[in-house]
Structure 1
Amino acid sequence: MPSFVLNLLANRAFWVLSFFGVVILTGNHAVSLWDQDEAAYAGFGRTMLETGNWLIPEFMWSDVHRKPPLHFWLVAVSFKIFGVHEFALRIPSSLAIWGTLLMMYVFGGRLVGARHALTAVCIAGSSFLLMALAKVAVTDAVLLFFTTLSAFSMVFVLREGSFKWVALFWFAVAMAMLTKGPPVILFAGVFGVLLLVASPQRLNLLRLHPWFFLPVTILPLFGWGWLCYQSEEGREFIQWMLDWYILKRIGGSVFGQTGPPGTHFLGMVLFFLPFVLFLPRALVRGFRSLYLRTWNNELLISLWFIAGWLLFEFTPSKLPAYVVAAHIPLSFMLAGALLNHKDSASKPGTPWWVMHYLLQFVVLVALAVLPFYLDLSAGTKMVFLAVILFIAVLHIYSLTHLNRPTFFAWFLKVPMVFALLVWGLLLPISDDLKNSSMRIANYLSEQLPAEAPVVIANNWSHPPSLPFYLTESFQTVFEAYDPETLVRHYHENEHIAIILNEDGKLHFEKELPNVEFSAFYPVFTDRLDQPGYFVVVKK
């Protein structure tokens, strides 16, 4: 076997990154589309391939999900290469998160050392939100990749002043803007100002030449917007985006996703719950570095964390992904606290560990009980219970190593194994809780030919997943809500399916008392209310 292969196999980082690659990809084919954002993005990508219009994202019931196009382009390319299905849809997000973990190890290793960086990778990869972004094809994974690249590039411009880092920084900013617009400018601007104030090497940041490169960096986004603006439809789209993504989110929230200051921080505590014992130590070390103003890696990473988090605590909208850029430095902070604890002669006493593990077991008990309150099969409930018991046994086993050198390795391994089981096993086998759109489409495709029209007369929440799955199997899918019109469609067509809400069902029962309905009730949706779909099929 070649020596470089042997060296690779002996490298712990290779196995850790490979493990997270498996976690990220496992089960992606077996989970149906999430009703709102993900389904809309799938629709945008497929429509771009079908129509050749790569400028304006278009799909039924998806207007509120439109954004700058980079993520949709990546989805469309993935569909072109691999086919139109859930696994292909999620490839860009999966690669973006895996690339972020790789970046944390490679660039983070240059910054804080390989041991610290690899520990941070283990923590970030085991956190809930980061892995969720890898498994759900939303824009935030690609945005996080380029935001993290911009942060590392700025750090190395500060440390080295090399033009390659300047070029990489502005490339990352340009791609992030083409993914989601201004958020990266806000993050990079705050981070840059903090570094200018705190770092003795602040003059190196002048090599970024923002007065020249920022306008150049905006050109890809501006060029796309200008091309859109050449049509009436494009002008309306650009004006809508300015209002929806800038004006409304500065002055208020969307979809009711709001909360008081501190909401984002509480979310991060929950997302990093397996490592919460080290959060106080991580924050104390970070704030101490801020107070002492001693320039070191702790201060730099603390400033990165502040740039990605603090300002968003005071904006009305509180989507958790808004502060995901802060999850990367927080992982480094937690890793530093963990390693400091491991190497320190003065360690927290047994009560702290008892409290930590009691909290973990409370969470495990809640997760073990939850399936018995959901509409899941007995077999699925038993699998949930077996997984929870297995993780509990691993926790107990790791506790037996508390005073041994191997304890911290087990402390990191248990959340990693849990992440694999949750995302690769538990989520796929519980997909029936949310896959009503796919089940309706599959049911109708078994009953009717592809030429039969399908009428959507259920306007609950407008989930793009419903038209996406329907248009995969049927050539004609359209909306109609007038009761008399629906009855007429039913009589005029030899084969037809009509998807009704409860009011429509009642009207149909009055007009056509012998018609049979098939009911579909999702347990979980992307919105707070619960719909019911009532399907009429004329074969």
Structure 2
Amino acid sequence: MLPFSPQMSNTTRKTNTWFVVFAFIVCAYMLFGRLGGWPLIAPDEGRNAEVAREMSQSHSWLVPTYDGLTYLDKPAFYFKTIALSFSLFGESEGIARLSSALFGFSLLVMVFLFCQRMYDQRTATLAILVIATTPLFMAFSRIVIFDMSLAFFVCASILACFLAEESSEKHRAVWYLAAAAAAGIATLIKGPVGFIVPTLVMVIFNAVEGRLTVMKRAFAVRNWVVFFAIVLPWFIGLSLLRPDFPYYGIMRESVARFTTTEFHRTAPFYYYAPIIAGTFFAWSLLLPESIVAAWRGRKGWSRTDRLFIVWAVVVVIFFSISQSKLPGYILTAIVALGVLTARMFALALNKSTGRAARIVWHGTIPLLVFSMVLACLLGMIASNPEILISRFPRKQDLVELFMPTILPMALSFALVALLSVIALWTRNTKLVFVAFISFPLLLITVNYDLLAVYAESRSSRELAERISPTLEPTTELVCLECLPNGLSFYLKRFVTVITRNGSELTSNYVIFTLNSAKPWPQGVVPIEQYQQWLIARTHPIYLIAEKNHLAQLEDIAQKQGAEVVDLSSKYSAVLLPFPAGK
């Protein structure tokens, strides 16, 4: 939020052109820099990349598959964008993430153009810097997941609806058509939430503005025609191919996700308070005081200010009510908060003695304290690793893996603390902004190895590299009650899964279909039938299991005269070279 007063009207100053160019270069690096520098991370990246890879190979653009099984957890639009990237540039981690990065950068461009029109160039430039250096925005721009593409079209729909009423009669219809088209594409990305969120935001915003009747123009027949022209061909076509999809997509994936706890993503109503504090860091340090000041100065809010405030509040409350909660759900609220934060910094830069300037200076104090404490703690751990190892003896391998990244982290936080001290000493708002932006910049540069090590610890790339040399084309790859995320993508082949309910495939639709009365599809073996299935095989099998199934794996190996090998600290395997029982 931000501290407006009637005297603090929209600024009109233009910022230096070179600063605008520099801002976009920084944003581009935050989103695209070393995009393929770390492996695909569980649980989403490996699965989503594999779905797109299979789509690019099969050209099945309407019905996605994962590990050869129909995958209807999400619509196909996002997978198509990755599949097209694979077709054009080849299959790799960086190319798999390219779609998210492009949508993220395009969203920044859109925000810049909107803020430049409704505020000024300085606010627009600061806005893209704040948003691009927000941990949540950075993360979802750099991983293979739907949220950033969804955020782009949801934001486009909201901004287009707002501009429609700010434009002349001649252009109003065009803006509303653009909003309807954006909502339609958002629906193709992640279902009904694609049109529910922008509709809810604009209805409540226009109600606050006392002009709820303008929604009649938003819901004009021509806008419905555009929306359904985009959504219905996909929905009808998919329903004809998969008759169970309408029930699953509407009742299970949408209604049940919002109203029930069966998806195991429940959290308290206040869940998003700490999420915002962490994923909007370090800018979140400014929120407590700025919210109070903004409310006191609410009579000075411009209409654009009210849009972003209503937007952020509505999105957070809507998903707080939902029984299913994940950080990415409030990504568009983070965008709105980023614009409001930039608005406050622009006001502080324009008036160094005003309320906005005092708030950003006050916010620098907790940044200084936080950075100093972490710098000291991490410095102590770097000089004496036993401090951490003694506290987590069962995680010693993991601690030792991260240990080389501790000292760079300590130095980074020390630098943030130093910049904070200088900013406070000089009372220079520009240096305050530099202090706040330094944390994410250091995270993606000096501390890049920390992110890479984290990704390695949650990826199956190294596992695939160990398996690949021993895996012949005629050997069937089988996982016993497990499925290392991304293994199919890295090995470019399907994996047969021995399972109780299909949960290893991390697909609600797969579980939904397995629970039906129909026979299980090829590639999924019921756990109670796996021994008979092994005996019936007529080709070699490479069987993988987690360590908690090691005794079971050793028993199978002994019966077949084979040897169990360690693949990693988590997985073991046995090669059954001859058909079982032969």
User: Normalized against structure 2, the TM-score is what?
Assistant: 0.79
Instruction: Give the aligned partner of residue 171 of structure 1.
Output: 181
Matched residues in 1 for 2:146 and 2:84: separation? 15
Query: CA contact under 8 A between 1:30 and 1:428: conserved in structure 2?
Result: yes
Matched residues in 1 for 2:128 and 2:193: separation? 24
| Secondary structure at 1:345 match in 2 | coil
Quick one: structure 1 residues 474 and 248, their matched pair in 2 at CA, closer, same or farther if it must change by over 3 Å?
Answer: closer
Matched, 1:250 2:243: no
| Secondary structure at 2:267 match in 1 | coil
Query: CA contact under 8 A between 1:286 and 1:298: conserved in structure 2?
Result: no
Query: CA contact under 8 A between 1:44 and 1:72: conserved in structure 2?
Result: yes
Give, in angstroms, the shift of residue 24 of structure 1: 1.5
Q: Give the RMSD, CA atoms, in angstroms.
A: 3.4
Aligned pairs for 1:193-342 within 5 A: 193-199=203-209, 206-231=216-241, 234-288=242-296, 292=299, 295-342=302-349
Matched residues in 1 for 2:83 and 2:545: separation? 31
Instruction: Give the aligned partner of residue 505 of structure 1.
Output: 553
Give, in angstroms, the shift of residue 340 of structure 1: 3.9
Instruction: Give the aligned partner of residue 527 of structure 1.
Output: none
Matched residues in 1 for 2:310 and 2:361: separation? 32
Matched, 1:358 2:369: yes
Give, in angstroms, the shift of residue 129 of structure 1: 1.1
Matched residue type, 1:444: I
Aligned pairs for 1:91-110 within 5 A: 91-110=98-117
Cα deviation code 1:298-352 (max 9, x no counterpart): 2222112223222222221111111211111111222233344453525269876
Matched residues in 1 for 2:561 and 2:85: separation? 47
Instruction: Give the aligned partner of residue 389 of structure 1.
Output: 411
> Which is further off, 242-251 or 294-303?
294-303
Aligned pairs for 1:177-188 within 5 A: 177-188=187-198
| Secondary structure at 1:156 match in 2 | helix
Give, in angstroms, the shift of residue 383 of structure 1: 3.5
| Secondary structure at 1:276 match in 2 | helix
Quick one: structure 1 residues 258 and 246, their matched pair in 2 at CA, closer, same or farther if it must change by over 3 Å?
Answer: same
Query: CA contact under 8 A between 1:509 and 1:515: conserved in structure 2?
Result: yes
> Which is further off, 139-148 or 28-37?
28-37
| Residue correspondences, number | 515
Quick one: structure 1 residues 335 and 351, their matched pair in 2 at CA, closer, same or farther if it must change by over 3 Å?
Answer: closer
Matched residue type, 1:392: A
Query: CA contact under 8 A between 2:35 and 2:94: conserved in structure 1?
Result: yes
Give, in angstroms, the shift of residue 63 of structure 1: 6.2
Cα deviation code 1:174-209 (max 9, x no counterpart): 111111121132222222222322336766654434
Query: Of 434, 450, 457, which aligns to 2:458?
Result: 434
Matched residues in 2 for 1:478 and 1:443: separation? 23
Matched, 1:515 2:568: no
Quick one: structure 1 residues 432 and 191, their matched pair in 2 at CA, closer, same or farther if it must change by over 3 Å?
Answer: closer
Matched residue type, 1:451: T
> Which is further off, 393-402 or 15-24?
393-402
Cα deviation code 1:396-451 (max 9, x no counterpart): 1342232243423422431341242378442124433112x222321121123333
Cα deviation code 1:473-532 (max 9, x no counterpart): 999995555564576479x64x542112415324235535761322423xxxxxxxxxx3
Matched residues in 2 for 1:251 and 1:62: separation? 27
Matched residue type, 1:22: Y
Matched residue type, 1:520: S
Instruction: Give the aligned partner of residue 27 of structure 2.
Output: 20
Instruction: Give the aligned partner of residue 423 of structure 2.
Output: 401
Matched, 1:446 2:469: yes
Query: CA contact under 8 A between 1:178 and 1:221: conserved in structure 2?
Result: yes
Matched residues in 2 for 1:479 and 1:201: separation? 56
Matched residue type, 2:371: Q
| Secondary structure at 1:192 match in 2 | helix
Give, in angstroms, the shift of residue 377 of structure 1: 8.3
Instruction: Give the aligned partner of residue 56 of structure 2.
Output: 49
Quick one: structure 1 residues 159 and 352, their matched pair in 2 at CA, closer, same or farther if it must change by over 3 Å?
Answer: closer
Instruction: Give the aligned partner of residue 68 of structure 1.
Output: 75
Matched residue type, 1:536: V
Give, in angstroms, the shift of residue 93 of structure 1: 0.5
Quick one: structure 1 residues 37 and 473, their matched pair in 2 at CA, closer, same or farther if it must change by over 3 Å?
Answer: closer
Matched residues in 2 for 1:213 and 1:129: separation? 32
| Secondary structure at 2:62 match in 1 | coil
Matched, 1:126 2:133: yes
Q: Which runs of 5+ in 2 are unaligned?
A: 1-14, 390-394, 498-521, 578-582
User: Normalized against structure 1, the TM-score is what?
Assistant: 0.85
Percent of aligned pairs with the same residue?
Answer: 19
Give, in angstroms, the shift of residue 380 of structure 1: 5.5
Cα deviation code 1:78-105 (max 9, x no counterpart): 1111112211111111101111112111
Matched residues in 2 for 1:367 and 1:238: separation? 52
